[in-house]
Amino acid sequence: MFVIFVGYKPAMAQTKKQNQLSPAEWLIGKWQNKTTRGTVSETWLKVNDSTFTGKSYFLRGADTLSTETIRLEQRNAKLYYVPTVNNQNGGLPVKFAATAITPTQMIFENPEHDFPQKITYTQITRDSLVAEISGTSKGQPRSVKFPMARVK
């Protein structure tokens, strides 16, 4: 009697998770906006194929008015924007789930958060973007835009 063993191996496309961060690689680098109220700076680094880290600062003169650390991370098949802001939310991170990802825009939402409920990054050109936080605050719609240019 002959025994024939046929092995089964799923196709790579079936088992490999789609990398949702690759369309967002334009975000990597340092971004800045100088206004009369102060300077907003954001720096993004690629940690690996599933995680980017960001740091955001708002400076007025030599004073740091706010800082934020951000993780853009893919967990399983979902992409999350996870900011931690000093003196907000008890110093704990807040998770915003991606609701739309295109080659030039990322939208993240958390309807349970006080404000913002929505965070959007839109690439305008290779060297410019607009970050926007929006939602409802005290029953009123609110939106704040942060246009930024790449620092070379």
Encode pLDDT of 36-55 as tens digits: 999 999 999 999 999 999 99
Neighbouring C-beta atoms of residue 50, cutoff 10 Å: 15
pLDDT of residue 79: 96
Cα–Cα distance for residue pair 141/23, rounded to 1 Å: 30
Model-level pTM greater than 0.75? yes
Residue 9 pLDDT exceeds 60: no
pLDDT of residue 98: 97
CA 105 vs. chain centroid, Å, equals 10
- In contact, 124 and 130? CB cutoff 8 Å: yes
Tokens 């009123």 found at: 140
Percent of the chain with pLDDT over 90: 76
Q: Does domain 18-150 have CATH number 2.40.128.20?
A: yes
Neighbouring C-beta atoms of residue 122, cutoff 10 Å: 16
The domain limits of the chain are: 18-150
Neighbouring C-beta atoms of residue 8, cutoff 10 Å: 4
Phi and psi dihedrals of 147, rounded to 5?
A: -70, 135
pLDDT tens digits, residue range 97-118?
999 999 999 999 999 999 999 9
